[in-house]
Amino acid sequence: MFRNILVHIPSERPVRPAIDAAVALTIARRSHLDAVAIGYESMGAAGMIAEGGGAAVAAVMGAEQERAQERANAAIAVFEIEAKLANIAYGTRTFTAIPAEAGQTLGALARLYDMTVVLQPDSTKASYDNEIPQQILFNSGGPMLMVPYIHKGPLDAHHVGIAWDGSRPAARALHDSMPFLMGAKAVTVIAINEEAGEASSDQLAAHLGRRGIAARVQRLITDHSNVQGAILSVAAESNIGLLVMGGYGHSRLQERILGGVTRSMFECMTVPVLMSH
């Protein structure tokens, strides 16, 4: 029921979209909200320590850690103002880390929570914060709510869209989103290029109906390269406020790589998306 929520507060990017969505979700669910901000340490300074260099290098690293901590503190301070105004139950945590370790640490922390709220990456702006959503998706083991960086105001989950292809990640996202589905006024199952199978969109609608969730099915045929665009078009035309979809990826040289549709959604989403891997 999303009683225990985590939100990542960016230290290098705008913070309000993630804060507004997370606080609104916490109020609506009467949940506890923890916020975490990371101050990123310079990779160059870390390399100097690894190579050795005595007290002078240690002093440089210490100063870099202090600046990183200040950035994290500044980000979390904005959250605290909003959390106090909203009178919610909350906690905060800040830490510093080199970028290569930050995402893994946060991904492990997120395993303790029912959901993690993150800000959509912005490929037009270089920031280590852009790497966090992918790390959360692949490492947390739970649902991730990604908020568009153009988002303003609270989360609107009155109309939920389910991007359904019958796959395991889609099924995981479906089950993780059940609290939203149970409370929604409308639910639309979006089936793109659907093939006959045991987990068809019609069968999904029937399954939801047995749980008291009335869902309509919208089927579309489109090129594979336009799947993400087709989903967002349906969301805009139907006034969908929250999308639910599986988060896809594959391994390459021990690194997780986003699948095509998932990657496109990371880049071009227009409404909040709940993803599960």
What pLDDT is stored for residue 62 in this prediction?
Answer: 81
What pLDDT is stored for residue 44 in this prediction?
Answer: 60
Total tally of structural domains belonging to the chain: 2
133 CB-side CA count, 13 A: 30
- 11 and 109 inside one domain: yes
Look up the CATH number of the domain holding residue 119. 3.40.50.620
Residue 152 belongs to some domain of the structure: no
Domain carrying residue 9 = 4-147
Which range is least confidently modeled, 68-82, 216-230, 234-248?
A: 216-230
- 142 and 179 inside one domain: no
User: What are the φ/ψ torsions at residue 252 (nearest 5 degrees)?
Assistant: -145, 115
- 84 and 130 inside one domain: yes
- 20 and 57 inside one domain: yes
The answer to whether the CB of 188 falls within 8 A of the CB of 234 is: yes
DSSP for 79-117, written as a single string: HHHHHHHHT-EEEEEEEEE-HHHHHHHHHHHHTTSSEEE
Query: Distance between CA 163 and CA 275 in Å, rounded?
Result: 10
**165-197 tens-digit pLDDT:** 888 999 999 999 999 999 999 999 999 888 877
- 163 and 117 inside one domain: no
Domain boundary among 147, 182, 197: 147
- 142 and 9 inside one domain: yes
Query: Distance between CA 7 and CA 112 in Å, rounded?
Result: 12
* Whether the predicted pLDDT of 253 surpasses 50: no
**Distance of alpha carbon 240 from its chain centroid, rounded?**
18
